Amino acid sequence: MSKTGITLKFGEREAAVVLVVFHIVGILGLSGAFKSWFLQLTPFNLLLSLGCLLALQPSKNLKLLLFIVFSFTLGFGAEWLGVHTGYLFGDYHYGWVLGLKFDGIPLLIGVNWVMLTIVSGDLTRRFIKNRLLSVVLAALLMTGLDYLIEPVAVQLGFWSWHSTQIPVFNYISWFLVALPMQWMYHSFASGNNPAAKWLLLSQILFFAVLNYLL
C-alpha cells in the first residue's frame, strides 16, 4: 500500500480491460479517417500486449528468460531467412508499420512470435495434458492465427507479398517454426497465464473484424 492509502494492483481484470479496450480502439481507429495515425501506434500496442502477458506470467525465472530469448531469436532468424532467401514463408518484404528494423526485419516481429507462442500454448495446455499433443495443437493454433492476420497485415502495410496470393508454403513454414517454440514454452514456462486468454480473444476479435471492414 502506498503512503496515500491506495493499493496499486495489476491482475487479470486490469489486464483484460487494457487488452480489450486497446484492441477495440484499434479497430475503430484503423477502420476510420485516422488510420495512418493509429498505424504509428502499432509498435506500442505490441509492446503493451507483451507487457501485460509478462506481468502476469507466473514463472518469472531463468527458464522463462531462456524461452523468450530462444523464441525471439528463432522467430527473427526465420523471418530474416524468409525475406532474404525465400526459403521460409515465401517471397515478401516488410513495410514501415512495425517500426525499427535490422537488416530489413522489424525487431518487433520477434516480439510477435513470443506473444503468439504464449497465448497459443497457454490455451492448449489448459485442456490437453499430453505435452506432445498440446505442442502440436498450439503450433496449429498459431498457424490459424497467422491465417487470420495475413489479409489485414497486407492491407495495412505490415508486410507485402511479391505474388498476388499468400502462398500455402507460408502456413507450412509457420507451423514448422512454431513447433520448437511451443516445445520450449511447454518445457520451460510453468503455470497458466491469466492474461493469455484475454489477449488471444482480443487478437481474434481485432483481426476478424478488420478482415470484414477493410
pLDDT of amino acid 42: 96
Residue 164 lies in a domain: yes
Average pLDDT (43-63) is: 94
For the chain, the helix, strand and coil percentages under 3-state DSSP, each to the nearest 5: 70, 5, 25
Domains identified in the chain, total number: 1
Show the domain range for 83.
12-213
Global confidence as pTM:
0.94
Q: Is residue 1 part of a domain?
A: no
2 in a structural domain? no
Distances (CA, A) of 201 to 16, 168, 197, 204: 10, 25, 6, 5
What is the per-residue pLDDT across 121-162, written as a single tens digit (0 to 9) for each?
Answer: 999 999 999 999 999 999 999 999 999 999 999 999 999 999
Cβ pair 125, 107 in contact under 8 A: no
74 pLDDT band, cuts 50/70/90, is: very high
Q: How far apart are CA 82 and CA 93, in angstroms?
A: 9
Q: Is residue 4 part of a domain?
A: no
Q: Distance between CA 146 and CA 172 in Å, rounded?
A: 11
Q: What pLDDT, on the 0 to 100 scale, is given for residue 1?
A: 46
Number of Cβ within 10 Å of residue 17's Cβ equals 11
CA distance 214 to 151: 9
Residue 31 lies in a domain: yes
